[in-house]
A and B are shown apart, each in its own frame.
Chain A
């Protein structure tokens, strides 16, 4: 009984879908701007069968994952550096905070001017979006590590490197992973922005194409696939992090 309680969440979307389907079937509404589920399934099937959908998914996921890897790596390294070294922090953090105040999308024109309209500028935008939450997360987490636990490390003879590795790192791990999840979410947000600004493939292209061709069905299919991909990537991240976060309350893992 308990195991199936999550299905309650399906009641509203499934109910609405059925109602919409019926309303369109019986001519209550037109369905041109809001196609019924059966139409969406047909469109998705057609896109999948032609191989077109896979091309779009591949293009989008490659951009998200590459941009995420770049942004998360840079954010983690700089966050660790500034969290560990007061000098680096005083030197770098004000500039990073200032750059953070610029809405990431505002970089688009400059990125296009500098890096062209192809992949590089897209990756730069996604990486930038991922960078800030990861940087901020790990930086604040390092600064708020319990001084008392650090003292335990000192009393039992850990070097500074030992403390960093065996106290600070595991202590910041939960926040780091949470910030990676936020970053990944933003990665998906910025891949849409990047693909809307001009692309010949990708789910964002499918959105734009749907708009220009007046195909609400392909727009909706792209949106649904974005939702599925986002959820799936987040689940993979959570699953990967589960072994290292086992010591935490299990409740938190489900959030």
Chain B
């Protein structure tokens, strides 16, 4: 039972850069919400604020109606890079995420998650002995071992090849069905957002604001080749184009947003 509410969050850095202005994002219990946008729209900043790694200038972050300050056991994260601790074995890295669990429980969950992410038998390996995709699987297991209510994902699949990425999408959905965390994921990959999310929040840059929120009314499992899938992708793309069209020719690169208006 975990609702996540981000209310009126603004973030201005010490150097005066305004990263976010008045952002509202809500995620219902067990919902997957994707935050979609190009560079400079503050999506990673937003995730860092929710994770408690940075402090918002104004606004509040609430979990089940309770306002958060700093890091919180209810909130866990997978980063863009696996960020495994290189001096711990794969299984010790998973267990690291479950520091608050009792030892027996932690061991049992570690073993089951290791198997669930398809790496049974790899537990004693060092991170450097694992591929990028395997490391990210361990990072996902580490994020889930402590029963988080909210799972934050910061472009966790962007550095992987398309085959590995598709595999990990399936794995994530399987684990989500089983454990039902509320998921807030940041991505710049439209297809990834449509494959995974219940709702897509499109952000616009300079400063980061919410452009619009689109529901994804597609039954799971989703077929990437179905016409309805394509239709949703086009709707998302239109929303992104609207966000770019309204960007004043102000500071920052407009060509570097990662999207070209081709619809």
**A contact residues vs B (CB 8 Å cutoff):** 148-149, 151-152, 154-158, 167, 170-171, 173, 246-249
**Given A155-B52, A155-B76, A156-B146, A167-B99 contact (CB < 8 Å):** no
A247 and B53 form a contact (CB under 8 A):
no
B53 and A148 form a contact (CB under 8 A):
no
A149–B127 alpha-carbon span in the complex (Å): 13
Smallest CB-CB separation from A170: which chain B residue?
Answer: B87
Query: Is residue B238 within 8 Å, beta carbon to beta carbon, of the partner chain?
Result: no
Query: Is residue B97 within 8 Å, beta carbon to beta carbon, of the partner chain?
Result: yes
A154 and B53 form a contact (CB under 8 A):
yes
Q: Which of A154, A167, A173, A246 contacts B85 (CB 8 A)?
A: A167
**Given A247-B126, A249-B128, A157-B83 contact (CB < 8 Å):** no
A248 / chain B contacts, CB cutoff of 8 Å: 86
Query: Is residue B63 within 8 Å, beta carbon to beta carbon, of the partner chain?
Result: no
**Given A148-B79, A247-B126, A155-B87 contact (CB < 8 Å):** no
Smallest CB-CB separation from B80: which chain A residue?
Answer: A148
Q: Which of B52, B73, B87, B99 contacts A247 (CB 8 A)?
A: B87
Interface residues of B in 44-87 (CB under 8 A from A): 51-53, 71, 73, 75-77, 79, 81, 83, 85-87
A173 / chain B contacts, CB cutoff of 8 Å: 87
Of the candidates A148, A155, A249, the one having the most CB atoms from chain B within 10 angstroms of its own CB is: A155
A249–B146 alpha-carbon span in the complex (Å): 30
A173–B71 alpha-carbon span in the complex (Å): 27
B81 / chain A contacts, CB cutoff of 8 Å: 148
Q: How many residues of chain B are within 8 Å of chain A by beta carbon? A: 24
A247–B127 alpha-carbon span in the complex (Å): 8
Cβ distance B46 to chain A, nearest Cβ, rounded Å: 15
Known A152-B79, A156-B97; further 6 A-B contacts with Cβ < 8 A: A154-B52, A155-B75, A155-B77, A157-B100, A167-B85, A247-B126
Cβ distance B72 to chain A, nearest Cβ, rounded Å: 8
Over the window 111-128 of chain B, the binary record of Cβ atoms lying under 8 Å from chain A Cβ atoms (1 yes, 0 no) is 000000000000000111
A151 and B53 form a contact (CB under 8 A):
yes
Of the candidates A149, A246, A247, A249, the one having the most CB atoms from chain B within 10 angstroms of its own CB is: A247
B85 and A156 form a contact (CB under 8 A):
no
Smallest CB-CB separation from B75: which chain A residue?
Answer: A155
Query: Is residue B96 within 8 Å, beta carbon to beta carbon, of the partner chain?
Result: yes
Smallest CB-CB separation from A247: which chain B residue?
Answer: B87
A171 and B87 form a contact (CB under 8 A):
yes
A170 / chain B contacts, CB cutoff of 8 Å: 85, 87
B83 and A152 form a contact (CB under 8 A):
yes
16 A-B pairs within 8 Å (CB atoms) are namely A148-B79, A149-B83, A149-B85, A151-B53, A151-B79, A152-B85, A154-B71, A155-B52, A155-B75, A156-B97, A156-B99, A158-B99, A170-B85, A173-B87, A247-B87, A247-B128
B53 and A155 form a contact (CB under 8 A):
yes
